[in-house]
Amino acid sequence: MNTMKWLLKREFWEHKGGFFWAPIVVSAIMAIITAGSVAIGVTKGSEANIRINGQVVTKLADQFSGEEKAAAVAQFANGYMASGVPLLFVLSFTIFFYCLNALYDERKDRSVLFWKSLPVTDGATVLSKIAMALGLAPLMALLFGTILALLIVVFISLGAAAMGVNIFGGVLSSAALYLAPLQIAAMLPIYALWALPTVGWLLMVGAWARSKPLLWAVGTPLLAVGLIAWFNKMLAFGWDIDWLWKYIVGRGLLSVTPGSWFAYSPEDLEMVGRMKQVAMGPLLAQTWQQVTTPNLWIGALVGAAMIYAAIRLRRWKDER
């Protein structure tokens, strides 16, 4: 019995809108906008510039040497995936609300009584939702993002060609073009571990709350830390409130945002800030640096504990 396969299919059937249609629609819109602006740029003639990754491309033919052109093309190939960033935002939202509702919706419409009438363990069920949130969903987003980014590369290259600059050869022969999606994929395991505290918290609240899970999930940490902060101020305790915001609220609610780990070390923040163009290599390296931090592992452990609590709640909570 390949139960996990069917559990994953079930998650997909239920959430086709968020995991499939939303990214496709966003991608389509972005592709159309890009194609449109390239077309407009081309028709405007030589007054228009095409900027890719901070580098103006149309002036290449006239003003830059072959070497500099090659470097610009390389940067283009390196950073083209950045055009997929809007999809990352879509993904963050989708995963956040997916986890919040994963164990709540089935309680609200009582369909949990149907699912529990079948020989599928609560553990397997919860695990399938985590696998969807941190495994399949990001992979799908990566797939859509890659296709979108490649489409944009094609549109822009076509536009450049229409203006007399041929970058096709340079871009297509650049190794970075093919590496970039793989580099992002290599970041996914860290993303999964990093996101565990938020995923665990949301699943747990969804398994517990009788109603308004969003209020409980977001309100509780905000209120708690807010109250402590207020007391701290009033009674001048001198506690490190920033730490609470960063680790309780930040890790608890925002860990599903890809890249949020960069915000936790000043060097990383600096590095990202200095980047005028997005380069996957250093990002990937810095991401895997997280493996050496206690932040990642303690967060993962806390997340795992909350996931366990969520499984127990699903097993034993009596719904009226």
Partner 1 sequence: MNAVNPVVDVVVKASGLTKRYGKSVAVDNISFEIPAGRIIGLIGPNGSGKTMTLKAMLGLVPFEGELRVLGLDPRTQRDELMANVSFIADVAVLPRWLRVSEAVDFVAGVHPKFDRAKAERYLKNTKLTPKMKVKEMSKGMIVQLHLALVMAIDAKLLVLDEPTLGLDILYRKQFYQNLLEDYFDEQKTIIVTTHQVEEIEHILSDLMFIRDGRITLSATMDEIGERFTEVMVPADKVEAGRAMKPIDERQVFGKSVMLFDGSVNGVTREKIAALGETRSPGIADLFVATMKGTYA
Which residues of the chain form contacts with partner 1 (CB under 8 A)? 1-3, 5-7, 9-10, 13-14, 106, 109-111, 113-114, 116-121, 316, 318
Place of tokens 């909570």: 317
Place of tokens 């998650």: 11
Q: How far is CA 105 from the centre of its chain?
A: 23
Identity of the residue, 69 or 107, whose beta carbon is nearer to partner 1 in the bound complex: 107
Three-class SS state of 198: helix
In order of 30, 92, 133, the CA distances from 138 in angstroms are 19, 9, 7
* Distance in Å, CB of 313 to partner 1, minimum: 13
Tokens of 222: 């905000």
Identity of the residue, 17 or 164, whose beta carbon is nearer to partner 1 in the bound complex: 17
* Distance in Å, CB of 119 to partner 1, minimum: 4
Q: Are 133 and 199 in contact (CB under 8 A)?
A: yes
Identity of the residue, 44 or 110, whose beta carbon is nearer to partner 1 in the bound complex: 110
Identity of the residue, 118 or 235, whose beta carbon is nearer to partner 1 in the bound complex: 118
- Quote the CA–CA distance of 78 and 187 in Å, as a whole number: 16
Identity of the residue, 6 or 21, whose beta carbon is nearer to partner 1 in the bound complex: 6
- Quote the CA–CA distance of 204 and 217 in Å, as a whole number: 9
